[in-house]
Amino acid sequence: MVLKGVEVARAINERIAKEMESLDIAAPHLAIIRVGEKGDDIAYERGAIKKMEKVNFRCTSNVFPEGISNEDFLAEFDKINNDDDIDGILLLKPLPKHIDEAEVLKRIDPVKDLDGISSINMAKVYSGDESGYAPCTAEAVLEMLKFANVDLTGKRVTVVGRSLVIGKPVSMLLMKANATVTICHTRTADMKAECNRAEVLVAAAGVANMIDDSYVSDGAVVMDVGINVNEEGMLCGDVDFEKVESKASIITPVPGGVGSVTTSVLALHLLKAAKIRRG
């Protein structure tokens, strides 16, 4: 089965709509912060704006020139961070090298930190504290597995990749769901063997078409989190979809898979932040 993100996103949107009907609060307000004109950032910003419009949430984009000084950016960031009308912040990273990103991460209000980039929210994810926020893409993987009725209890799960954005947090979320998790990385001695043991395989290495059918056991669930551009200039994942589809019981495509659920999780986090901030 090909598990497409649009179905999962629609189900999340319906959950948000039902919850908003039961709450007596104004529409939550998202602030997007972008520095420069990177294509990837602009595309994600557009997707986030479109999603907020779809669920009737407010959204404000704050765009700063690439050459803004560190001092000026921090001052502008503080204004947004301290604005009581803003419920959540989406900071598009990485920031330009001359901006002190570590200082920004220290300053962001943990309640407004919707993508789980602060050390406080990271610690909450690692300790199993559900009051924090996991990175939206990592949580999108769990939302898709839940939608497909994949019971993770006792399942052997292999995660390929150990980044702070995907690999590590998704591993924590999977363990919280009672999966038995193995994390593979560039120093793993026999990655192919580790992947073949997996009943659920999460590919988050950032290498185009790295996972072919020789890495996947028959009937495995394959979640492709990679976003790459192949030699033909086409968007593709970490999984060679054509080779793996016939072996997998469930597989996500790229594009149209996990990535398309990420902004729906962002909206869920914004609603959560609004409820916390408004008591």
- The runs of H, that is alpha helices, within 82-118 are 101-107
Domains and CATH numbers, the chain: 24-115 (3.40.50.10860), 136-259 (3.40.50.720)
pTM exceeds cut of 0.75: yes
Q: Mean pLDDT across the stretch 14-28?
A: 95
pLDDT at 230: 83
DSSP state of 122: H
Packing angle of the helix pair 5-22, 136-147 (nearest 10 deg)? 100
C-alpha 272/C-alpha 201 separation (Å) is 29
User: Would you tell me how many other CB atoms lie within 10 Å of the CB of residue 72?
Assistant: 13
Q: Return the bridge partners of 229, or none.
A: 235
User: Would you tell me how many other CB atoms lie within 10 Å of the CB of residue 210?
Assistant: 18
b/e map of 225-262 (b: 16 or more CB within 10 Å)? bbbbeeeeeeebbbbbbeebbebbebbbbbeebbbbbb
Mean of the per-residue pLDDT values of the chain:
96
Q: Residues 48-101: pLDDT tens digits?
A: 999 999 999 999 999 999 999 999 999 999 999 999 999 999 999 999 999 999
The answer to whether residue 231 scores a pLDDT higher than 90 is no
C-alpha 260/C-alpha 7 separation (Å) is 10
